A and B are shown apart, each in its own frame.
Chain A
Amino acid sequence: MKRLQTLSIAFQVLTYVVMLFALYAIFLYAPVEKTMGVIQKIFYIHVPSAFLAYLAFLVTFIASILYLIRRETRWDTVAHCSVEIGVVFCTIVLITGPIWAKPIWNVWWTWDPRLTTTLILWFTYVAYLTLRRSVKENRRANLSAVFGIIGFINVPITFFSIRLWRTIHPVVITGQGLNMSRPMKFTLMWTMVAFCFLFFALLVSRIQIERLKLFIEEVTDIMEDMISKNSERN
């Protein structure tokens, strides 16, 4: 636990520091984009959040496989906590996307392959969490791990099928290119790093809490056994 504790504090401090720099970069350093105006700056939250949403599910995928191979509870804990935080970032993507799209292209939603796949990803995450709430403890880890694996494998397949679907229909919006000026690229990189630290800070904290929860449950069980044995004796 000690190692996790120092890691947690380190990530939190780093997050605050780098995030402050990132905010400075976003508002005071990066130039205002010509065609879109100020609102383009949403991009600096939207892109890192999307990247982290997918990274979180990748973490879950790997942790699920490791759990099924090794049967160690901690991998199940990592998988579960990563999904929770992934939902947070996925929600941010799905909200900032439409907020950006409305003033620029005058539509709230587009069935753009990337945004749609992210929506499906969100549903898959939520299904994972629903699954965890519905099954009993003795099978929860196994079933969640299987679903974590299936859900992740489904993501590239979904993306390609939606992209194929969209290329046949008239596409309202084409994807934005990455032809950004140097300061913008630099700002994006900085924000990306800040959000990565945020992700790890949240993940480590959440894992700590989950481990503490499991530990307390164990101790409570032992204690209740002890008390009932004592009351039998007395």
Chain B
Amino acid sequence: MKFIPQLKALVWKDFISEFRTKEMILFMCLFSFLVLMIFNFAFDVSINANRGMTAGLLWVAFVFSGLTGLGRTFSVERDRGTFQGLILSPVSPWTIFLAKLISVFVFTTFMEIITLFIFSILYNTTIFPFLVPLGLIVFLGTLGFTAIGTIFSAISATTRARDILLSILFFPISVPVIIASVKATGIILNGMPFTTVFPWLRILVGFDMIFLLVSYLTFEFITEE
């Protein structure tokens, strides 16, 4: 089963190249920090009055910042000229996809943790009582949008206007993930019982599974020339 060692190698490659410069993580965290700050001026976000809005704020920060990272996963390969090498190597396209997904997912999750931390400071609120359910929702939601983001990053990496095309492709498809994540997060932060989140969790899990399956079936067509 060469799959696991190949996967580990590819993921490790991305980790190492990121740790050298730390560029992507730094920019992602900086950007989400900016988003949190701008929102304070754009909307009068009085935390205790409207918890639903803070859920939206969090996910806007996560998604917009995540997109900058997603845009880079495949475009750096194109820019460095390593994409061809990746395709020509005896690794299945699905393994390449999964490796990219894992690395982007880890970086994005790291950014999200930092964002949550900054959020709790800027808005004087604590999220510790909600850590576990919040963690589950953030995990499922992030998995969803990074999965589709990775597919569309691969699609748009070959074009000139790659970041704009990525956003245009990404947002209509990500609507279910964003709705479900924001609603579920809002419910959790409002302290309501966990069972009320179940319908949204079902949507998130369904979305994740469906799009992982679709990417498995179609990714080879994206990489072939």
Contacts and interface: CB of A to CB of B under 8 A. Distances in A.
A157 B203 contact: yes
A146 B218 contact: yes
Category for how many chain B residues contact A: 20 to 34
Interface stretch (B40-48, B101-109, B123-131, B176-184): B176-184
B158 interface: yes
Interface in A146-191: 146-147, 149-151, 153-154, 157-158, 160-162, 164-165, 168
Interface in A39-73: 68
Given A130-B168, A131-B165, A147-B155, A164 B173 contact: no
Describe A's contact surface by its main secondary structure: helix
Interface of A: 68, 120, 123-124, 126-127, 130-131, 134-136, 138-139, 142-143, 145-147, 149-151, 153-154, 157-158, 160-162, 164-165, 168
B159 interface: yes
Contact of B176 (A126, A134, A142, A154): A154
A145 B221 contact: yes
A80 B202 CA distance: 33
A157 B210 contact: yes
Contacts of A139: 158, 225
Contacts of A160: 176, 203
Given A146-B221, A161-B203, A124 B172 contact: yes
Interface of B: 148, 151, 155-156, 158-161, 165, 168-169, 171-173, 175-176, 179-180, 183, 199-200, 203, 206-207, 210-211, 214, 218, 221-222, 224-225
B183 A165 contact: yes
B211 to A, nearest CB: 8
A146 B155 contact: yes
Nearest to A161: B176
A142 B224 contact: yes
Contact of B158 (A68, A136, A153): A136
Contacts of B180: 161
A164 B199 contact: yes
Contact of A150 (B151, B176, B183): B151
Contacts of B224: 142
A138 B221 CA distance: 12
Contacts of B168: 126-127, 130-131
A120 B160 contact: no
Q: Which of B158, B165, B172, B214 has the most CB of A within 10 A?
A: B172
Given A120-B175, A150-B148, A154-B173, A135 B222 contact: no
A135 B155 CA distance: 9
Given A123-B171, A160-B203, A165-B183, A134 B210 contact: no
